Amino acid sequence: MNHWMRIGPAHVPEFTRFKEKPKYDEGLYKVGENLYAWMVPNGSWGESNAGLLIGNGESLLIDTLWDLKYTRRMLETMAPLIAENPIQTVINTHADGDHWWGNELVPGAEIIASQKAFEEMQHIKPMSMILLGKMLGKVLCFIGVKQVGHWFQNMVIPYDFQDVSPLLPSKTFEGELSLTVGGRHVQLIEVGPAHTQGDVLVYIPELKTLFCSDILFIGSTPVMWAGPIENIFAALQKILQMDVDIFVPGHGPITDQQGVRDVLSYWEYVHHHAKERYQAGMSAEDAAYDIIFKTDFLSRPFSQWNSPERMMTNVHILYRQFKGRKDSPKIPELLNILRKQAILAHKLPDAQPSVMRYR
């Protein structure tokens, strides 16, 4: 990140939202001519990135953030740049709330997402995060399941969802969509279902820059909520074949092709080892433990990434696919997977974010 010039805000937090030492400063970075990336260290839960493209008389915003406080901070930093070029268009790259729940702070803008993301967004409510962290977490702690309750509580503790009124996209598309924003060309490329049901890449060809959504996590363990894994492989291969020099991930620092290849290596590794264990008759839970504690995994660079316990979710989703399931897990099943993930997190006491691990 030292290669890029941070232009604001003047004050940067001493710690990340999860009280970790930041690996780079939070803020707005110039990555090209009138092109900026809002970067949030260290890329953990809700520590998501966004983008701003300024054209002649108007601007485009790529994603908002998980709550109003952090979205407002980002927009205030952008304010001098967009004073004469207001944000007229917002792209929501997928349905996870940390990429669109701040939409209401850009009133009047046309909001665009893939059709599948739009459909998924209608079922993702801020109240679910309030219940998960504030209520379920407390109940679990109270009844003695302290590790799980602690993990759920601390996942959302930096955020305030109480006043969020989710503003859904006003325009959808399927496949690809070309836009002209103040004379600047932007290409939207749907690559889901993969991370979620409707993931979208945002490509600015004149600057060879790609906003990769959550298809790309850098320094933070990626997670697959939807799949199939073949679509993640295809999306990453597509990214590597594009005429791109600058890759802005959904989480983590700006990267190059090697960063993309590292993420692809993670998925290839997990897919291969999960399939071996599935064919051997091992349960998904046992497979996740067996993979993550093996010396071979621990010797890999990706074992040091933020939130390695996401292995539990990834293996469970892979097992569903091995069984021929194409649907996403319903809430009770997903909560059970996350419960297992929380327990695994506490067996990885040195992993970040450390605040989520009960001591």
Decide if pLDDT at 137 tops 60. no
Q: How far apart are CA 232 and CA 149, in angstroms?
A: 31
Decide if pLDDT at 268 tops 50. yes
pTM of the predicted model, to two decimals? Answer: 0.96
Residue 348: per-residue pLDDT = 95
Phi, psi for residue 180 in degrees, rounded to 5: -120, 120
Mean pLDDT of 27-37: 97
pLDDT tier for residue 128 given thresholds of 50, 70 and 90: confident
pLDDT tier for residue 135 given thresholds of 50, 70 and 90: low
Residue 175: per-residue pLDDT = 98
> CA dihedral defined by 267, 269, 272, 274, rounded to 10 degrees?
-80
**Three-state DSSP string of the chain:** CCCCEEEECCCCCCCCCCCCCCCCCCEEEEEECCEEEEECCCCCCCCECEEEEECCCCEEEECCCCCHHHHHHHHHHHHHHHCCCCEEEEECCCCCHHHCCCHHHCCCCEEEEEHHHHHHHCCCCHHHHHHHHHHHHHHHHHCCCHHHHHHHHHHHCCCCCCCCCCCCCCEEECCEEEEEECCEEEEEEECCCCCCCCCEEEEEHHHCEEECHHHCECCECCCCCCCCHHHHHHHHHHHHHCCCCEEECCECCCECHHHHHHHHHHHHHHHHHHHHHHHCCCCHHHHHHHHHCCHHHHCCHHHHCECHHHHHHHHHHHHHHHCCCCCCCCHHHHHHHHHHHHHHHCCCCCCCCHHHCCC
Residues 6+ apart with CB under 8 A from 273: 287, 291, 297
The fraction of the chain above a pLDDT of 90, given in percent, is 87
Decide if pLDDT at 298 tops 50. yes
Residue 262: per-residue pLDDT = 98
Considering only CA atoms, give the Rg of the chain. 19
pLDDT tier for residue 327 given thresholds of 50, 70 and 90: confident
pLDDT tier for residue 149 given thresholds of 50, 70 and 90: confident
Q: How far apart are CA 287 and CA 20, in angstroms?
A: 30
Quick one: how far is CA 31 from the chain centroid?
A: 20
Decide if pLDDT at 344 tops 80. yes
The fraction of the chain above a pLDDT of 70, given in percent, is 96
Decide if pLDDT at 126 tops 50. yes
Q: Are 28 and 52 in contact (CB under 8 A)?
A: yes
pLDDT tier for residue 222 given thresholds of 50, 70 and 90: very high
Decide if pLDDT at 164 tops 70. yes
pLDDT tier for residue 186 given thresholds of 50, 70 and 90: very high
Residue 147: per-residue pLDDT = 83
What structural domains does the chain harbor? 5-356 (3.60.15.10)
Residue 136: per-residue pLDDT = 62
Decide if pLDDT at 192 tops 50. yes
pLDDT tier for residue 138 given thresholds of 50, 70 and 90: low
Query: What rounded mean pLDDT belongs to the chain?
Result: 94
Mean pLDDT of 250-257: 98
